[in-house]
Structure 1
């Protein structure tokens, strides 16, 4: 990954090339002054040239901050941590089309998914739109085979998809990047139109509701007595709540919480009836992801950094630079996009390595789409800490490996291969070990046969042995 200085120099040269008219006007103003030209002409030329020249470093600084976001003290959320719990994740995603008024909101299971098309032409630049939160060129098209459950969630009608009557539908849908994880998790909230003579009605995916049903967005309910209940990954109860919300034109969530005390009496009573039913007939929490994830995981075909153990600057490591983990608490969609991901307003909780209390930071980041596709699994992120401990840089290469976008592998000095499971706990100590020894390994394969890894080969094998990964799974 290029350093911030390298990114700035590149942007400065590009800005100087595009804004070369500024220095030219300064030269023209100087030449006109030397020749005794009209003072108004000299002043006008000088003003235009000065403005254009000043814009060159200003544009370079702005572009570098966008491409290489650094979290510093000024990004800390005022008031400190505590607004959100550690297990909270709040998402503001683009609204879906309302669908037919007489359509029914049901669950659909994703059996297969594949990336059909994603081809923006903005290269690495930032593109901003006014009022359109899901522009077609920055919205991937995903082909899916769905099993739409039309039976009652609490009924006994059985089918091959997991206990409900339904039908299968195949099609292509535009998916807001923030909601890609709903496909990977395998649970969608869809609207089904009235059946006609040719069969079931049309299927409209409700993407923000799907992210909620998938468990990517956390969900809690405060009842009329003030009791807080976590309903995340309780699809039956959530569907019942969504139907009530849709029938009354929407129910506001404060962060990830619905407070029945703030609703009108009739709506609160309907929500309370759902809660009473859930207490009488407890619902098992759904899995993080439904079976068959590999058949619907588009992360390896979506743009974004490939996961790896990461690069290390020798000077950074020797002066005390290190890695820490953070966690996304909030993501909010905006109207700015890059080719490999949307630009989002985020809130992260960062846990310093020195044991000081964690703090929250609000930062605008470009989040890779392949990371968004696994957001239901983990919201953790890896950050590089400056040697003085005052700034943090998001490391998407390490983050994507830790999040399971790609799988890692270790090759022992004797040639044995140890594939590591996705999101393995050993990844973090291995990253720390390499960073502390100033060893760069940008790829997902850590080959201990190379001479430069000799100093850490024993320690790496010890980590694998302690985790029980050297006895099984070797090739």
Structure 2
């Protein structure tokens, strides 16, 4: 478990080495002062200015590279209201496409990572005006089933066809591939042929349920349409036909639209009221065929390391949740640098608070963002600061298979059981035990002291799993 003080000291040493003229200027100033020279103030001024610069660089680098949240990050503007299930996402814009292209749904049948090869020469890479540089945009091969409806917004018979191609997918929208639902444009083509297919990635994240969506009707009533894919497609077609409709956060307010467009939205809402649409599943069947998470960079999922001093002083793990993500011009090899808003739930029972923080978010976590937006943080013993723990966050989000091996050799799977994983994480942290792996092997000597306590945390799992024989035995 890295500490902020350790990171700060490391950057201070690095900045001092890079600014080696500063200590030399102090030596020159001291020598000149001993000899009574009139120009002593010149090297002294240079040394003082250089010292201030070293401190500023150290603090800036430490803050950018260490995901620490303090009181200064707390959101003071309460003009935006975030619900518990809200995720406002400001993603890169999609291409406009052919003006006669049809906006339809496509299901992802298979997905694989073809190439993601950033040069890795710099810790941070910043681009001017390009939110989706090729270097930091993974290339994926997708096999899609496109549900071409013939007419935009029409109700004719579906003419589905399959297509396999390679597309660059913005990292913020990777979860749409894992979820299996995309919004695509199909360009017109001749008889017996299918037109060019262009995925609309921000719209796909909306259709997949990663981004939440609400609609305020003309009567002021708020309706949540997240994962109502049929209604969302109709809304997207209306928006495209009028040149685009902006979401205020995650909400479309019909009272701010022109009368004709608002009436079209209202007609869609009325049809949904008469014949309500069921919510689409969190992820479409066959997720294992499009599980790209293992081929994307990110922090290795684990139960996490524990600082003994932190544990003895009463440090605890807490849960947070992403409420907003906004793309920036800066990228790292293992993920984009995003402007985020998180809701942190302190362990002492005090009300949760919201914090705005620029963070590098791992790409493997972004690929499962449709399933969870939770994040694990370890709190300073005094409760004054919180640090995002990406290995624990990845394990809780399910970016890797997790399990526990009982003292008698039974293997108990924990994948898909975040509450059990959370309990085990807290027990390990409270006892000062590190386990930098996604599997707890209670046969190991260092876990003997807490084996009984950990097994008590998974009694229902233990009862459901029968003892297994050696590998290769039935």
Q: Structure 2 length normalisation: TM-score?
A: 0.93
Q: Which residue of 1 aligns with 2:124?
A: 126
Give unmatched runs, 5+ long, in structure 1: 158-163
Task: Give the 3 Å change call, closer, same or farther, for CA 472–95 of structure 1 in structure 2.
Answer: farther
Match of 2:311 among 313, 317, 330: 317
User: Equivalents in 2 of 1:143, 1:35: separation in Å?
Assistant: 73
Contact 1:148–1:169 (CA under 8 A) maintained in structure 2: yes
For 2:379, the equivalent position in structure 1 comes to: 385
- Partner residue, 2:18: 18
Correspondence for 1:84? 82
CA distance 1:413–1:335, change in 2 (3 Å): same
Is 2:166 the partner of 1:168? no
1:82, CA displacement in angstroms?
A: 7.7
Could you tell which deviates more after superposition, 206-215 or 13-22?
13-22
Cα separation, 1, equivalents of 2:404 and 2:154: 47
Q: Kindly state the Cα deviation for residue 352 of structure 1 after the two structures are TM-superposed.
A: 1.6
Q: Call closer, same or farther: CA 1:35–1:3 in 2, change over 3 Å.
A: same
Q: Given that residues 406 and 422 in structure 1 are in contact (C-alpha distance below 8 angstroms), is that contact kept between their aligned partners in structure 2? A: no
8 Å contact kept, 1:401–1:423: no
Which deviates more, 195-204 or 435-444? 195-204
Greater Cα shift, 44-53 or 90-99: 44-53
Confirm or deny that 1:286 pairs with 2:280. yes
Q: Would the aligned equivalents of 1:411 and 1:446 in 2 still touch at CA under 8 Å?
A: yes
Matched, 1:410 2:408: no
Q: Where does residue 273 of structure 1 map in the other structure?
A: 267
Report the CA distance between 1:203 and its aligned residue. 1.2
Query: How large is the Cα RMSD of the aligned pairs?
Result: 2.2
Cα shift at 1:356: 1.7
Task: State the match for 2:66 in structure 1.
Answer: 68
| Structure 1 partner of 2:3 | 3
After TM superposition, give the deviation of residue 38 of structure 1 in Å: 7.9
Q: Which residue in 1 is equivalent to 2:195?
A: 201
Q: In structure 1, the residue corresponding to 2:165 is in which secondary structure?
A: strand
The residue number in structure 1 matching 2:99 is: 101
Cα distance, 1:420 vs. partner?
A: 1.6
- Cα distance in structure 2, aligned partners of 1:34 and 1:81: 60
Contact 1:114-1:143 at 8 Å conserved across structures: yes
- State yes or no: 1:301 paired with 2:295: yes
SS in 2 for 1:57: helix
Deviations 1:381-426 (A, max 9, x none): 1110111111111111110000011111111111111122234321
Give 3-state SS (helix, strand or coil) of 1:272's partner.
Answer: helix
CA distance in 2, matches of 1:8, 1:16: 12
In the other structure, the counterpart of 1:161 is none
Alignment CA distance shift 1:457-1:227 (3 Å): same
Change (3 A) 1:305 1:247: same
Are the aligned partners of 1:114 and 1:144 in contact in 2 as well (CA < 8 Å)?
yes
Instruction: Give secondary structure in 2 for the equivalent of 1:275.
Output: helix
Task: State the 1:36 CA deviation.
Answer: 7.5
- Measured against aligned partners, the alpha-carbon deviations of 1:83-102 in whole angstroms (never above 9, x if no partner) come to 11111111100111111111
Aligned equivalents of 1:473, 1:270: Cα separation in 2: 60
CA shift, 1:56, in A, is: 2.3
Partner of 2:207: 213
Instruction: Look up the SS of the partner of 1:425 in the other structure.
Output: helix
What is the count of residue pairs matched by the alignment?
A: 467
TM-score for both structures, normalised by structure 1: 0.93
Aligned counterpart, 1:150? 148
Find out whether 1:372 has 2:370 as its counterpart.
Answer: no
- Cα distance in 2, alignment partners of residues 201 and 473 from structure 1: 55
- Conservation of the 8 A alpha-carbon contact between 2:410 and 2:467: no
Q: By how many angstroms is 1:468 displaced?
A: 5.6
Any gaps of 5 or more consecutive residues in structure 2?
A: 470-474
CA separation of 1:77/1:297 partners in 2, compared to 1, >3 Å: closer, same or farther?
same
Residues 353-368 of structure 1: matches in 2 within 5 Å?
353-368=347-362
